[in-house]
Amino acid sequence: MLIPTDPQSFAPEQLGRDAESLQRAIAHSLIYDVGKDPVAARGRDWLMAVSRITRDRLVDRWMETTRRQYQHDAKRVYYLSMEFLIGRALTNSLLAVDIADEARAAVHQLGLDLEELSDLEPDAALGNGGLGRLAACFLDSMATLGLPGFGYGIRYDYGMFAQSLQDGYQVELPDAWLIGGNPWEFPRPEVLYTIRFGGRVDRQGAIPRWVETDDVLAMAYDTIIPGYRTRAVNTLRLWSAKATKDFDLALFNKGDYARAVQAKNQSETVSRVLYPDDSTRHGRELRLRQEYFFVSASLQDILRRYQQDHDGFAKLPDKVAIHLNDTHPAIAVPELMRLLLDVHGLGWDEAWALAGRIFSYTNHTLMPEALETWPIDLMGAVLPRHVEIILDINARFLERVRREHPDDPDLSRRASLIDESGERRIRMAYLSILASHKVNGVSALHSDLMRRTIFADFDRLFPGRFVNKTNGVTPRRWLNQANPGLARLIDSRIGPDWRVDLDRLAALEPHAEDEGFCHEFAAIKLANKQRLAGFIRRETGVIVDPQSMFDMHIKRIHEYKRQLLNVIEAVAQYSAIKAHPEVDWVPRVKVFAGKAAPSYWNAKLIIKLINDVAKVINNDPSVRELLKVVFIPNYNVSAAEIIMPAADLSEQISTAGLEASGTGNMKFAINGAVTIQDSKFQNNAICAIQSLAA
């Protein structure tokens, strides 16, 4: 069989880029891929057809990119993350292929509206907050820069949850984002790895054997990640749990239908939801299983890919870089050691030296309570071999610490991977630092505090290991896609290159005094506020005036992010307006959005308080035109693309030093919002509270 070297030699005639070719391709896909007669097709059917023909125009680039990486034996960055908050794919892909205008015209000729179809696409329920959005931006940037990158995560059936409000309280509902199919993924049923849990370690032979395990299969689903106006297309590989035994026919025939599928359901729970409620032991165990599930599958996949073209493991660090996005994938350290030691027969020193050149780690928090730890007894029950390896790593490390720092006898206790202060727990951040050749914070302040506070001992032990990599956001999605009016205005003054070099926006500074520019900017901002006002009315029923000042606090609901302080300020403003109606108040709409973790009761009470305060203020006719409070439910990437461009004020009031970077601030800033920083707001709010008390 002749295999062509150019994937485009397989490309059918309909892969044209003009509106007429796209129109024919959409109609063809609707009939032959979706299986719908155009007369009977609904919006969702047309969306699937448009998505498929857009994906088709990326596949040849994807195969070309992959082949080129193999031909050059390129080193790949493997980015391991529990979250990838990638948002909707259609509009991003159309922009990447540079056929957005042609597609809009083709869809219009079919009697449809591209924006209305795009709104039917569900957000991929693969993340929750900044950590997942950072991961998505990294994948986008690596593809745009042409860097060989590969993302690994979990294909959650239901994501975290869909948030609704009942009497002001957050209610969690399943986010069934896959129910209508996902045209952007490619199932890989041939890519299966066995993931093992429980059991015991048998030491009768020279190499420890992990036996009597409870197994589940990890099956790969690939999503293509296009670069912006480049031929490079990278891969996000997500793992879905599949049972080793689907169905017990004997039990079914006996009428025991529930037990017939019990094993299957239990096995596949691993990839059901993001961040299961960890307030119970069962929930904590499930989260640990999730972390190991995707890490083990990913490492097995990485080693398989490496071994296709290489003998031995000496070149492994020259071809493989594994990045740990926070500590969720930290179990990758003992898992790589297990694979190298127990499966491939390497010696300890060789395996550990390889690991130290392969891993790097991003820390996302300074809060000790948020640094992941696992009880040894829990991990021992789920991953007994890994506990042995971690204890061996720790023993060798502490021996070195005592030998090299005899003047500080307490250092070994402080730096130990095991917290012995109460229940013996494994410190996953310490494990990540010890195994990594580089550790980074996500802003200059965060990285500096990381070195000087919680990881000061490790900074002393490993000089130069800690570095800063300030978080960023992709301007392709958060300005070009979310705010096309502003993007066109910027293009008219400084050209289009800011999309791949955000520093070029500095060239706008001379236009700050340009009356024409400012007038156009104000008109674009008003249009964005009118769009958000319509969205707010549809989602909440609250009517807001686009001429008001839009004051936004959009983050995960958390005590340190201080939504509570902000809603108290809203109460103070309400009281001040009531007390002094003669003052020329600037009309203001305070907008909140974000989700609270299901088991975080205080955060859920803050949501309830915001909605109760909103009910009082929004229904008081004496302040109705001057102050409104809105909580937008089920915040996600698509909602953010409507919210960010409409903001006048951006609330960045998290407790100083605890907000690691706050990429939401960057998204607001590039859309022209003024940032309210924490110290000034705190002083104003404290004065307001004191005034209320008086």
DSSP-assigned states of every residue in 352-368: HHHHHHHEEEE-----G
Q: What is the pLDDT of residues 254-264, one digit of tens each?
A: 776 667 677 77
Burial pattern 13-50, b for ≥16 Cβ within 10 A else e, equals: ebbbeebebbbebbbbbbeebbebeeeebeeebbbbbb
Mean pLDDT computed over 8-13: 47
**Number of structural domains, the chain?**
3
Same-domain check for residues 63 and 80: no
Range of the domain at 114: 1-72+103-122
Same-domain check for residues 560 and 638: yes
Q: What is the pLDDT of residues 103-141, one digit of tens each?
A: 999 999 999 999 999 999 999 999 888 889 899 999 999
Mean pLDDT computed over 413-440: 96
| pLDDT interval class at 52 (50, 70, 90) | very high
Residue 504 inside a domain? The answer is no
Residue 637 inside a domain? The answer is yes
Q: Which two tokens stand for residue 673?
A: 């919002």
Position 556: which residue type?
R
Kindly report the average pLDDT of the chain as a whole number.
92
Residue 503 inside a domain? The answer is no
Same-domain check for residues 174 and 151: yes
- For residues 486, 488, 492, 493, the Cα torsion angle rounded to the nearest 10 degrees is 30
Closest by CA to 130, choosing from 170, 77, 81, 165, is 81
Same-domain check for residues 80 and 63: no
The more confidently predicted of residues 266 and 219 is 219
Q: Are the beta carbons of 242 and 267 closer than 8 angstroms?
A: yes
| pLDDT interval class at 678 (50, 70, 90) | low
Report the C-alpha gap between 614 and 620 in whole angstroms.
10
Q: Are the beta carbons of 155 and 238 closer than 8 angstroms?
A: yes
Among 446, 468, 490, the domain boundary falls at 468
Query: What is the Cα 44 distance to its own chain's centre?
Result: 26
CA angle 677, 678, 683 (to 5 degrees): 115
In 10 A of CB 494, how many CB atoms? 16
- E strands in 267-368: 320-325, 359-362
Q: What is the pLDDT of residues 459-509, one digit of tens each?
A: 999 999 999 998 888 999 999 999 999 999 999 999 999 999 999 999 999
Q: What is the pLDDT of residues 312-331, one digit of tens each?
A: 999 999 999 999 999 999 99
Cα atoms in the 13 Å half-sphere on the side-chain side of 477: 31
Same-domain check for residues 60 and 147: no
Same-domain check for residues 61 and 200: no
Same-domain check for residues 153 and 68: no
Same-domain check for residues 220 and 267: yes
Q: Which residues are CB-neighbours of 627 under 8 A, at least 6 positions away?
A: 570, 573, 574, 577, 585, 587, 588, 589, 590, 617
Q: What is the CA radius of gyration of the chain?
A: 27
Q: Which two tokens stand for residue 551?
A: 């004051």
* Per-residue confidence (pLDDT) for residue 250, from 0 to 100: 74
Residue 473 inside a domain? The answer is no
Closest by CA to 387, choosing from 414, 418, 355, is 418
Same-domain check for residues 407 and 516: no
Among 436, 468, 500, the domain boundary falls at 468
Active site (catalytic) residues: 364, 555-556, 561, 663, 667
Q: Which two tokens stand for residue 659?
A: 């907000």
State if pTM tops 0.85.
yes
Q: What is the pLDDT of residues 223-236, one digit of tens each?
A: 999 999 899 999 99
Q: What is the pLDDT of residues 206-221, one digit of tens each?
A: 889 999 999 999 999 9
- E strands in 142-229: 149-154, 162-166, 169-173, 185-197, 200-202, 209-211, 214-226
Same-domain check for residues 141 and 107: no
* Per-residue confidence (pLDDT) for residue 257, from 0 to 100: 62
* Per-residue confidence (pLDDT) for residue 253, from 0 to 100: 74
Q: Which residues pair with 241 in a beta bridge?
A: 218
Same-domain check for residues 109 and 172: no
Q: What is the pLDDT of residues 143-193, one digit of tens each?
A: 999 999 999 999 999 988 999 999 999 999 999 999 999 999 999 999 999
